[in-house]
Structure 1
Amino acid sequence: MSPITSSSSAAALVATSPKSIVIVGGGIIGVCTAYYTAISPHFQAARGDKITLVEATEVASAASGKAGGLLALDWHGQATASISALSYKLHADLAAEHGGEKWGYRTVDTLSVTTDLTERTKRKSPIDWLPEGTVHHSRPLGSQKTTAQVHPQLFTRELFRMFLERPGTGVVYGSAAGVALEGEQAAKKLKVLNRESGEPSEIPFTHLVLSAGPWTGTLSKTLFPPASSSLWSSSSKKLNTNAKPLELAISGSRAHSIVLKTDRKLTAHALFTDMTLQDGDMAEPEVYARPDGTVYICGASDNEPLPKLASQVKPDPFSIKLLHTQASALTPEFSSEKSQTIAEQACFLPISDRGRPLIGPTALPGVFVASGHSCWGITQGPGTGLVMSEILLEGKAKSADVGKLLP
């Protein structure tokens, strides 16, 4: 094939060449990217376009299945303000179009609450399920116009189901283990080890998206090291030593949470607390009441090493016990006598060394990244997915400004 020498011929290639898009990671970012790419008018299954989602364990098995699900319109810095506003709107649009009650979508009032169990106060409690005499201060952080919530696992899996209903889509369960590089370092195939058997298979691609949450950093080094057995040629079966390395500085930070089922119906509130416990200890759990009658409570993160797979993530028993203590201290409604424990869990948040997500093309042709959203992955998921679909299919982001988020 002769080289492309003009922008018009490049545009023609984009318009006519079938695309084989492979997305690694079945969390909210990968699933949203797959979904919005599949419904784009620029994706044409009839032409031969394909999207394959590669997931090592189960869809929404990591942070996207264990996060709190708070959505915030305007809590974001300059770099992510545009994509967050877009995403907040897309969450509302998806709920209106597809029945958001299926994944617990609703708007909420969000409060900062200061409690002190060592000294009673005469201030009236701002919420009827917080006991009188304990709330010393409260202030609004968001209203039902600016904050909302979803159940992240239900949302991600419903969007995944809708993705698979589209023509030209599919999923492969297995771990990405290598790439085949053919000519001038253009990656052509992804090597995947089957989740059950460990047997390898090859998935051809024109576009590869790395969206593996906190595993994105290690994945980039696995697929694109300077020289490794991961770099192989499907034709010669020999090591391709001309490949450029790719190292994305994204790691994980473990956070704990519990989910309780309460006897009492809770109002639509999310709480950011500053607690002084009876023994004088301080705590700052976040509390999200859900429409299904459960309440999600999460605490501080730690530096536990990231395991190889999401299925290997385990909570620390002491951290879980601490959350139960803090929850029952906040209100008797969360005590073991008045609530049932539904889940005790941990997940790793994807942390970028830049303090913001990485969204867009990498230095390697045909290789893209969408990861590193920290605690804002649920809020920013749909916006990231839509922008990534534009980058993949049209060559640039159109719906949001991601200029400060480029890898």
Structure 2
Amino acid sequence: MSTVILGGGIIGSSIAYYLTRDSSPRKNEEVHIIESSSQLFSAASGYAAGFLAKNWFASSVAPLGALSFNLHHELAAENGGAEKWGYMKSTALSLDVSDAPGRTGLRGARGDDWLRQGTSRAEAAAKIENPSLTLLQNEAPAWLTKQRGGRVENISHGETAAQVDPPRLCRFLMDTATSRGVKLHHPAQATSIITDPVTGTLNGIKIQDLNTKTEFIIPCRNLVICAGPWTAQVFKTLFPSSGARIPISQLAGYSLLLRSPRHTVDQERETYGGRSHAVFTTYPPSCGFSPEIFSRHGAEIYIAGLNSTQIPLPARAEESPAAMQKEQIDELKKVAVRLLGKPAEGRVESSEDVPNMDDLEVVREALCFRPVTNRGTPIVSRVRDDLLGGDVKTEFEDGPVEGRRNGGVFIASGHGPWGISLSLGTGKVVAEMIDGVETSADITGLGV
């Protein structure tokens, strides 16, 4: 009996990858991925920053974070990830240009506060890693423009941060999974659950091809919903009589992908030794957000941090560009020039409506929607039968039982901006839950 995965982003691709690994007891069973967009990785999986952290997480997520970080390293080492998807070790820095009197450095706030309040994600690192807050101006990369009164602090120690190019990693996972026999259906969507007419047991799912509008049924006992910010909608569609509320909503995020004459491929290789930099800023309150900047393989620079909870979620991910607001992109461009443009003595200020990008080249403007939960941590869990509405049974026994072959409904979503970092760990533990073996990380705090 097959497994159906609803969502073909980084989480769905990772689950399929680990379900079909050689050591999986289900490697010869059918796996199907259902993706509603006609363009793969057109949501956050394709437009994320790709920053990886080992220990920047709340206690309930920490085991999954450490597992996933180690899996990223192993996957890259075994498959040439440095070239194939830009895997690089990273140095994480905090840049404080807040102009606040009596600054005392990073405050160590709750790990997800920065997400909605516009403060710096570096505060999570300060709480977890507790570094000595030493001025390290010589740690700043040459592509970062010096700020008057700015203070740079190293917030990563040893080998605890890394960087990837998300769409290239997604493509590797998806291509590997489909080469192993995983069947990808897109654009398509799940419309209803099929149950045994006598027992009420889940035994299939009805799928609609969004191009032809034809419907077909895939027999299955295992169903995984990992549809990003659309997860709650998908769950409600498939289990309309359920009283359970899946607390996953959307957080829109703008980003720019840039090139700078102060950062070249030769510098990436020779000056920085093939190492990336991640810069988390504490910006003046008047800015309204704290920019995040990442150098990536091939001398690309990614800047983001301008988020919104007010933009409605589109029906499909590929419709996101239509929701982009020009004034927001312009604001991000202005900040990019301040942080990455020519030094002040060589800069030409512009009063044009469209910001003068100085000598920076804009490779891509983007808006994507990330799935967030109200508790700030993801949901990675089996859904109990009593939460499915009473009309569906899955014959799933609680607790890890070696060799179990019963079915289940699972949710893996709500990772916020940590989807890429937590992807491989999530894929592995969901595959292990489906396989009926003990999970490689404790996820008891990530239930529905």
**Per the shorter chain, which TM-score range?**
0.7 to 0.9
> What is the identity, as a one-letter code, of the residue corresponding to 1:313?
S
Q: Which of 48, 55, 75 pairs up with 2:35?
A: 55
TM-score normalised per structure 2: 0.76
Q: Does 1:33 align with 2:3?
A: no
> What is the identity, as a one-letter code, of the residue corresponding to 2:335?
Q
Q: Which of 394, 403, 407 pairs up with 2:444?
A: 403
Q: Does 1:357 align with 2:371?
A: no
Q: Does 1:214 align with 2:229?
A: yes
Q: Does 1:345 align with 2:366?
A: yes
Helix, strand or coil for the counterpart of 1:287? strand
> What is the identity, as a one-letter code, of the residue corresponding to 2:443?
V
- Residue 157 of structure 1 corresponds to 171
Change (3 A) 1:114 1:367: same
- Residue 113 of structure 2 corresponds to none
TM-score normalised per structure 1: 0.84
| TM-superposed deviation, 1:380 | 0.6
- Distance, in Å, in 2 between the alignment partners of 1:143 and 1:298 is 23
- Residue 187 of structure 1 corresponds to 202
- Residue 54 of structure 2 corresponds to 73
- Distance, in Å, in 2 between the alignment partners of 1:140 and 1:402 is 30
- Distance, in Å, in 2 between the alignment partners of 1:54 and 1:203 is 11
Structure 2 gaps of 5+ residues are: 102-134, 344-355, 386-393, 395-407
Aligned length: 364
- Residue 106 of structure 1 corresponds to 88
Alpha-carbon contact 1:103-1:150 (below 8 Å) kept: yes
Alpha-carbon contact 1:220-1:247 (below 8 Å) kept: no
Change (3 A) 1:131 1:343: closer
Identity score, percent:
32
> What is the identity, as a one-letter code, of the residue corresponding to 2:261?
D
Q: Which of 66, 77, 80 pairs up with 1:85?
A: 66
- Residue 371 of structure 1 corresponds to 413
- Distance, in Å, in 2 between the alignment partners of 1:180 and 1:41 is 30
> What is the identity, as a one-letter code, of the residue corresponding to 1:53?
I
- Distance, in Å, in 2 between the alignment partners of 1:353 and 1:283 is 20
CA deviation string 1:25-63 (max 9, x = no partner): 0111111011001105233455xx111111111332211
- Residue 109 of structure 2 corresponds to none
- Distance, in Å, in 2 between the alignment partners of 1:269 and 1:193 is 44
Change (3 A) 1:132 1:391: closer
| TM-superposed deviation, 1:308 | 1.1
- Distance, in Å, in 2 between the alignment partners of 1:246 and 1:179 is 17
Alpha-carbon contact 1:124-1:133 (below 8 Å) kept: no
- Distance, in Å, in 1 between the alignment partners of 2:221 and 2:52 is 33
| TM-superposed deviation, 1:299 | 2.1
Change (3 A) 1:371 1:118: closer
> What is the identity, as a one-letter code, of the residue corresponding to 1:352?
T
- Distance, in Å, in 1 between the alignment partners of 2:19 and 2:414 is 20
| TM-superposed deviation, 1:123 | 9.3
Change (3 A) 1:98 1:324: same
Change (3 A) 1:189 1:79: same
- Distance, in Å, in 2 between the alignment partners of 1:118 and 1:246 is 44
CA RMSD of aligned residues (A): 2.4
- Residue 327 of structure 2 corresponds to 318
Q: Which has the higher strand share?
A: 1
Alpha-carbon contact 2:145-2:338 (below 8 Å) kept: no
